Amino acid sequence: MAALPQPAPTKSEQAEKSPETERCDVGQLTFRTIQQEMDLDEVMRIEGEAFPSNEQANRERVSFRIQQAGDVFMGAFLGERMVAFVASTIAHDRLTQESLQNHDPQGNVLCLHSIAVEAARRRKGLGDRVLDYYLNHFLPAVLPAHYPNVREVRLIAKEHLSHFYQKHGFRDEGPSEVHFGEPVWRDFVRPFPLNT
């Protein structure tokens, strides 16, 4: 009996077969690194839904992060649809306005810029699942091979998000020297790996 012809692989299946876009399933969610040509429009859609206009990264900034630090830029998918992403870069020692604009592969700090969930899926625990996977599965697989100097994960967030980040192992270090818009932002840090 002859084998049935197989359909051409979808863009997601093509990305799945690439070693730098390893995918893992958690329930119905699938995670993989973001790809510039395939995913930029979807990242920008979610960025626009997740953040006020004065806090959104523009297309040029997001494209830079994908090109320079794509191996620490992760998307979460339900089927073919991106529903969330986590964007990061690498820096030295602490977060500053300047370090958040750059990527230094020799740095010792992973700067977590964004965890963004599409509007229709907020307040349903998806952000928790995505951040948990990113910190406990994705980063341990990526950082030792690509960024062996990283010893901590840092981010800035508004005060009302303190509980969300603290339950994921981050310590609130108080007001940040980095500012975006009106509210006071706070610095959060978590060692990498967590048990150090």
Domain ranges, ordered by start, for the chain: 21-145
The mean pLDDT value for 56-75 works out to 91
pTM of the complete model: 0.82
Task: Give the model's pLDDT for residue 18.
Answer: 38
pLDDT > 70? residue 99: yes
The angle subtended at Cα 34 by Cα 33 and Cα 37, nearest 5°, is 140
The mean pLDDT value for 99-107 works out to 86
Lowest mean pLDDT of 46-50, 52-56, 97-101, 165-169, name the range. 97-101
> How far apart (Å, rounded) are the C-alpha atoms in residues 103 and 90?
5
Strands 152-158 and 185-191 come out as: antiparallel
Stretch (H or E) spanning 32 = strand 29-33
Both tokens assigned to 74: 């992760």
Question: Residue 194's pLDDT band (boundaries 50, 70, 90)?
Answer: low
Burial of 109 (0-12, 13-18, 19+ CB in 10 A): buried
CATH number assigned to the domain covering 21-145: 3.40.630.30
Question: Residue 182's pLDDT band (boundaries 50, 70, 90)?
Answer: low
Q: Long-range contact list for 141-145, CB < 8 A, 24+ apart?
A: 141/22, 142/71, 142/72, 143/72, 143/110, 143/192
pLDDT tens per residue across span 134-153: 999 999 999 999 999 999 99
